[in-house]
Amino acid sequence: MLDINFIEENQKDVEKRLNHRGNDFSKDLKFVVEKNKRRKEILVEVEKLKATKNQLSKEIGFLIRDQKNGEIEQIKNKIVQMDVQIVELDEELKIVVKEMNDVLAGIPNLPDESVVVGADENDNVEVRKSSHPNLSTQAEPHWEIATKLQLVDFELGPKLSGSRFLVYTGLGSKLVRVIADILLTRHTNHGYKEFFLPVIVNAEAMYGTGQLPKFEEDAYKTGDQYLIPTAEVPLTNIHANEIIDGNKLPLNYTSFTQCFRQEAGSAGRDTKGMIRLHQFNKVELVKFAKPEESMNELEKLVIDAEAILKLFDLPYRVIQLCTGDMGFSSLKTYDLEVWFPSQNKYREISSCSNCGDFQARNMMARYKDENNKTQYVHTLNGSGLAIDRLIAAIMENYWDGEKLNLPPVLQPYFNNQKFIK
């Protein structure tokens, strides 16, 4: 969440920049500022009462020495009344802080000043595009190709689990694990530490990265725990409630997991194929960086995700998201989009974000700087990449109408075979 003291000191500027996201946050900001003022007032009142109480307690010692029992009783009664007041103020403080934090938790991150102001995806800015021409002229949907080659069973998934689930079969199953291995090998060879993580996390972890309370309806819940919507959640929470040695920053982590999302807001969108699933496969990249280095680390993160698209020689572009299209926890985001011939457009395959200290404040993830001062670390995350979408893109771009030509990087895993037919 945002720093309440920063909001209070820069309320008008914060309101202006947040409203660039497309919503009016003025009432929420006014509410949290008022609650914060009351929080500080209560703390002052409590400190005054405690100071007075301590002074009276000292006076009792002198009165006992002078055997002034009547005055002793009066002071003891005052102390009892002060204890009651302190308890009441402490209870009010808990309520005020909870009310303030509940609203703060629903306020998104402040867009960086370098982010283009815009309403939606139509205002995003193309940064660069791969130079090679599109590979396929067939424009056949990936779900038809996958069915012809018996790589995916689109009927068995709904039979077993419901809509937006699928089953990889035969060489399709092999593609998933092969691609996961290629991606992880590339990232670990470039300085990322690999983790194999639980796919169920507690509510604190979901809150830490900003999935709760804002996006609870999109999460799969099991008892008091949640299925992860992305490996970003457990990877980033590795350093929750910790103080990292600043000399070790930046830290680069990666993980392959299955991910789970209800896709609550996507009714009627991408109902066919492998673009928008309830259960999907992804290799995630997470970074922990010093504040002054985090924007540079964001550029490196994009390059690491982009390298995968180059490995598979796929047409793609990099875009910078405008203020109205950025994710809740992000202060700056780049999307990587891969070309889908059947749709005649680019589709997102990775989203790389710098979250600043927004998540770190929730998680209490900090580090010691060169002056031994404790500061909040900056967190970054990105897909490196979304495997199901990558497979779909490979099928559409390498299909020649009769067979699926395999990108050179895949051929060694298939006995140097050049195609699947």
9 is in an annotated binding site: no
337 is in an annotated binding site: no
Residues 353 and 355: their CA atoms lie apart, in Å, by 6
263 is in an annotated binding site: yes
Residues 410 and 419: their CA atoms lie apart, in Å, by 10
State the DSSP H helix or E strand holding residue 56, giving kind and residue range, or none if neither.
helix 26-65
113 is in an annotated binding site: no
Q: What is residue 247's three-state secondary structure?
A: helix
349 is in an annotated binding site: yes
Residues 21 and 322: their CA atoms lie apart, in Å, by 8
Of residues 81, 89, 100, the one with CA closest to residue 28: 100
**Which residue is associated with the tokens 């990232």?**
187
81 is in an annotated binding site: no
Of residues 273, 105, 257, 256, the one with CA closest to residue 182: 256
CA 366 to chain centre: 17
144 is in an annotated binding site: no
Structure tokens given for 401: 């109408």
261 is in an annotated binding site: yes
- CB of 280 closer than 8 Å to CB of 228: no
| Region of residue 202 (phi > 0: left; psi between -120 and 50: alpha; otherwise: beta) | beta
59 is in an annotated binding site: no
179 is in an annotated binding site: no
| Strand bridging mode 193-195 / 167-168 | unpaired
Residue type, 17: R
231 is in an annotated binding site: yes
Q: What is the DSSP string of 364-398?
A: TEEEE-TTS-EEEPEEEEEEEEEHHHHHHHHHHHH
- Pick out the residues of the known binding site for L-serine: 230-232, 261, 284, 381, 383
- Pick out the residues of the known binding site for ATP: 261-263, 348-351
- Pick out the residues of the known binding site: 230-232, 261-263, 284, 348-351, 381, 383
